[in-house]
A and B are shown apart, each in its own frame.
Chain A
Amino acid sequence: MASSGHSNGIHIFPKMMYVKTLVALLVLMFLTVAVAQVNLSHIVARWGWDPGVGTVLNNIIAMTIAVVKGLLVIQFFMHVKFGSDLVKLWAMTGFIWVTLMLFILMDYGTRKYEPAPAFDADKGSALYREITRTGENPPPDNYPIVRPR
């Protein structure tokens, strides 16, 4: 950061930098929309691979483009590229930490996760009775008092 005398040492960036960033962002947006129209599963199936790979590929491409767009916004519009190391550190930390939180998904990757059947299917179930309960709130506490042994 330049600072001398009584000025604030403000960096004033050329307008063209912002314009170029905007153009890049718009181009990337059209690219991501265009790629999404292409049905990668079919293309991939024609090559003889499992069509699921095509879906994954499409996801990866979409997310990569989103990340690049995000980086453009962060680096140029939010001036992180020209900021102090501390600002760079904080900007990174947020995204690293979100990634860390995604380790929650590790649980679901290592066990079979099945949602329960719809509750209203079983009209006699305790679940159903509890949801449709009317009357006192809270329900009366009528546990029998058992004499201690």
Chain B
Amino acid sequence: MSAVPLDQTHQEEELNYLTNGKSIKSWLLTGDHKRIAILYLISTGFFFMIGGIFASLIRLELTSPTGVLLETETYNRIFSAHGIVMIFLFLIPSIPAVLGNFILPIMIGARDLAFPRLNLLSWYVYMAAGILITWALCIGGVDTGWTFYTPLSTTYSHGAISLAILGAFLAGFSSIFTGINFIATIHKMRAPGMTWFRMPLFAWAMYATSVVILLGTPVVAITLALVMVERWTGIGIFSPELGGDPVLFQHMFWFYSHPAVYIMILPAFGVISELVANFTRKRIFGYHFVAFSTLAISGLGFLVWGHHMFVSSQSMYEGIVFSLISFLVAVPSAIKVFNWTATIYKGNVRLQTPFIYAICFLMLFTVGGLTGLFLASMGTDVHLTATYFVVAHFHYVMVGGAITGFLGGLHYWWPKMTGRMYPEGIARVNAILVFIGFTATFVPQFIVGFLGMPRRYHYYYFAPEFQPYHIASSMGASILGIAFFTPVVYFVWSLFKGEKASANPWGAHGLEWETTSPPDSHNFHHVPVVTDEVYDFPGVEYAHPSHGHKKKKKTAEPVSKEHN
């Protein structure tokens, strides 16, 4: 490779990945992980907006005890659509496919992912899934909820279930291809000198997420395929009158879908680690603990699926085991939250937008996680299950957790991805607006949930005293909707009018900050050799001498020659 200096003044003359080939064909047939990440950004963003429209319809409907404009069947289809679009088309791909695809190879010093064509295929499969699901929704949607419980989905429902299932099936394979890519890349393509424990925690999170994707998604793929076959042929795998067991569907479905929520949150954990370290200019407190707890969550997360089924007639003894392990799986998450908080303590904090999102994450995710404990304990779960308490809990962790993580990461890496800075003032205000809108939306839902409001009901005429809570929640949802839409506007604005960004506008640490913004098509001109430890900020004094690694810094050893 030629030794072209990474000189900022030559930036306009050098081709970066955005300018290297401007035809549509060069974008649609690209192998460049950065372009694929941008393609994913546009498509997941689009589906997020669609899911948001369904959410607005839900919140609108619930402002009156007798329902405002939707019939029962239609409402069933609306909340199912919201769930399917948000989960399969937005939450599961978002951080891995957008931020992971873009940043991971640069972060570990590789020129691209291990299998670029597989990466492109994964985007096309994702688009096919999106088209199928949109088609299913256009011809009437499904009324089973995103959980497709049998026997409604196999025998009695008249919705477009098979199409929607086919879409979810393909979305699953898209994420499997991404997972395969990440695992091979992280194992085999780290730069010389980047040992596992010099890898940033975002890369650890991507690795753990990929493992979960690989081990869980095929199970739900088969389960949903069985539902499809059962609809077409009338066999009775899940039908009690034909000898089958509907609870088996729930077991198999939740065997994936619980790890799925870890697929959604682990990447956000990775992003938050990066944000907290770089905006406090301090090494993450307890780096090894955070790394191992990420792996622990990915493993333990497979052992707790039954906590979605405490009232499903599964045996009480299984319930006890699942309840116990669900309490245990909260521990690694708590370890991480403690470590992040300890990192912020006595750190050199700069309250810029990404870090505001990180703080929102810490507060909202903690609340979400703690409310999960009420649901993990069988006794309280019997009262709270299928109420709005559950709805508020998972929105706290998924929106307050995963989406704030995604937004924080997007703001943090936006200058790297596009070479432009977004408007900091508006973005900061917007971040706080997200927090306010989110809290206003979901805190009333916790309350109305434990007061007894069932989920998936479009009326509550039997309890009109719930109305003020629902109205408060809908008001908050309007604020949240505005706060989620504003970034679209200012990000697009920044593409044209934003201030040009330097290679490292945050003064952050990491290999991705040592390339140009936006990066060159091949990321690096020469392969970097890693000699410093991770999150090693110059001139930092530690409060305790035990911070930092106890071992002396090793000389760089080429890592690609290792067997692992």
Question: How many Å from the CB of A141 to the closest CB on chain B?
Answer: 4
**Do the beta carbons of A115 and B187 come within 8 Å of each other?**
no
Q: Given A110-B318, A116-B241, list of 15 further CB < 8 A pairs?
A: A1-B563, A85-B564, A86-B187, A86-B564, A104-B251, A106-B318, A107-B314, A110-B315, A110-B316, A111-B316, A115-B240, A115-B244, A119-B241, A131-B156, A145-B66
Contacts of B316 in A (CB 8 A): 110-111
Question: How many Å from the CB of B309 to the closest CB on chain A?
Answer: 9
**Do the beta carbons of A138 and B73 come within 8 Å of each other?**
yes
Contacts of A138 in B (CB 8 A): 73, 143, 158
Q: B317 interface residue, CB < 8 Å from A? A: yes
Q: B247 interface residue, CB < 8 Å from A? A: yes
A101 with B219: in contact, given A85-B563, A141-B73, A146-B66 (CB under 8 Å)?
yes
**Do the beta carbons of B73 and A115 come within 8 Å of each other?**
no
Q: Give bound CA distance, A110 to B319, whole Å.
A: 11
**Do the beta carbons of A93 and B215 come within 8 Å of each other?**
yes
Q: Give bound CA distance, A56 to B244, whole Å.
A: 23
Contacts of B155 in A (CB 8 A): 131
A149 with B464: in contact, given A86-B187, A107-B318, A141-B73 (CB under 8 Å)?
yes
Contacts of A119 in B (CB 8 A): 241
**Do the beta carbons of B66 and A148 come within 8 Å of each other?**
yes
The 0/1 profile, CB within 8 Å of B marked 1, for residues 115-148 of chain A is 1111100000001001100000111010101101
Q: Give bound CA distance, A66 to B563, whole Å.
A: 31
Q: How many residues of B contact A (CB 8 A)?
A: 37
Q: Give bound CA distance, A43 to B10, whole Å.
A: 86
Q: Give bound CA distance, A144 to B231, whole Å.
A: 32
Q: B532 interface residue, CB < 8 Å from A? A: no
The 0/1 profile, CB within 8 Å of B marked 1, for residues 77-120 of chain A is 00000001110000001000100110110111011010111110
Question: How many Å from the CB of A122 to the closest CB on chain B?
Answer: 10
Contacts of A93 in B (CB 8 A): 215
Counting chain A residues whose Cβ lies within 8 A of the other chain, the interface size class is: 20 to 34
**Do the beta carbons of A97 and B241 come within 8 Å of each other?**
no
**Do the beta carbons of A127 and B241 come within 8 Å of each other?**
yes
**Do the beta carbons of B156 and A130 come within 8 Å of each other?**
yes
Question: How many Å from the CB of A117 to the closest CB on chain B?
Answer: 7
Q: Give bound CA distance, A3 to B40, whole Å.
A: 39
Q: Give bound CA distance, A4 to B564, whole Å.
A: 19
Contacts of B318 in A (CB 8 A): 106-107, 110
Contacts of A141 in B (CB 8 A): 71-73
**Do the beta carbons of A113 and B251 come within 8 Å of each other?**
no
21 contacts between A and B (CB under 8 A): A1-B563, A84-B564, A86-B187, A86-B563, A100-B303, A104-B248, A104-B255, A106-B317, A110-B316, A111-B316, A115-B241, A115-B242, A117-B241, A131-B156, A138-B158, A141-B71, A141-B73, A145-B66, A145-B461, A146-B66, A148-B461
Q: Give bound CA distance, A115 to B303, whole Å.
A: 27
Q: Give bound CA distance, A42 to B482, whole Å.
A: 75
**Do the beta carbons of B302 and A100 come within 8 Å of each other?**
yes
Question: How many Å from the CB of B337 to the closest CB on chain A?
Answer: 27
Q: Give bound CA distance, A138 to B166, whole Å.
A: 22
Q: Give bound CA distance, A139 to B247, whole Å.
A: 27
**Which of A107, A108, A131, A149 has its CB near the most chain B CB atoms (within 10 A)?**
A107
**Do the beta carbons of A97 and B464 come within 8 Å of each other?**
no
Q: B243 interface residue, CB < 8 Å from A? A: yes
Q: Give bound CA distance, A137 to B306, whole Å.
A: 34
Q: Give bound CA distance, A28 to B405, whole Å.
A: 54
Question: How many Å from the CB of B62 to the closest CB on chain A?
Answer: 14
5 tightest A-B CB contacts, nearest first: A111-B315, A116-B240, A119-B241, A110-B315, A141-B71
Q: Give bound CA distance, A84 to B187, whole Å.
A: 12
Contacts of B230 in A (CB 8 A): none
**Nearest chain A residue, comparing its CB with the CB of B216:** A97
Question: How many Å from the CB of B73 to the closest CB on chain A?
Answer: 4
Q: Give bound CA distance, A115 to B130, whole Å.
A: 37
Contacts of B317 in A (CB 8 A): 106, 110
Contacts of A101 in B (CB 8 A): 219, 255
Q: Which among B158, B252, B302 is the interface contact of A137 at CB below 8 angstroms? A: B158
A113 with B245: in contact, given A85-B564, A86-B187, A149-B464 (CB under 8 Å)?
yes
Contacts of B564 in A (CB 8 A): 84-86
Within B277-308, the residues touching A (CB, 8 Å) are 302-303, 306
Q: Give bound CA distance, A101 to B430, whole Å.
A: 44
Q: Give bound CA distance, A118 to B321, whole Å.
A: 33
Q: Give bound CA distance, A85 to B563, whole Å.
A: 7
**Do the beta carbons of B563 and A118 come within 8 Å of each other?**
no
Question: How many Å from the CB of A85 to the closest CB on chain B?
Answer: 6
Q: Which among A86, A97, A130 is the interface contact of B215 at CB below 8 angstroms? A: A97
Q: B65 interface residue, CB < 8 Å from A? A: yes
Contacts of B71 in A (CB 8 A): 141
Q: Give bound CA distance, A149 to B461, whole Å.
A: 8
Q: Give bound CA distance, A110 to B241, whole Å.
A: 22
Q: Give bound CA distance, A113 to B313, whole Å.
A: 10
**Nearest chain A residue, comparing its CB with the CB of B256:** A101
Q: Which among A107, A130, A145 is the interface contact of B247 at CB below 8 angstroms? A: A107
**Nearest chain B residue, comparing its CB with the CB of A149:** B464
**Nearest chain B residue, comparing its CB with the CB of A1:** B563
Question: How many Å from the CB of A16 to the closest CB on chain B?
Answer: 27
Q: Give bound CA distance, A93 to B307, whole Å.
A: 24
**Nearest chain A residue, comparing its CB with the CB of B143:** A138
**Nearest chain A residue, comparing its CB with the CB of B321:** A106
**Nearest chain A residue, comparing its CB with the CB of B75:** A141
The 0/1 profile, CB within 8 Å of A marked 1, for residues 60-82 of chain B is 00000110000111000000000
**Nearest chain B residue, comparing its CB with the CB of A93:** B215
Q: Give bound CA distance, A137 to B77, whole Å.
A: 13
**Nearest chain B residue, comparing its CB with the CB of A105:** B251
Question: How many Å from the CB of B558 to the closest CB on chain A?
Answer: 13
Question: How many Å from the CB of A145 to the closest CB on chain B?
Answer: 5
A115 with B252: in contact, given A97-B215, A110-B318, A148-B65 (CB under 8 Å)?
no
**Do the beta carbons of B251 and A107 come within 8 Å of each other?**
yes
Q: Give bound CA distance, A139 to B158, whole Å.
A: 10
Contacts of A113 in B (CB 8 A): 245
Question: How many Å from the CB of A94 to the closest CB on chain B?
Answer: 8
Contacts of A127 in B (CB 8 A): 241
A118 with B315: in contact, given A101-B219, A138-B73, A141-B71 (CB under 8 Å)?
no
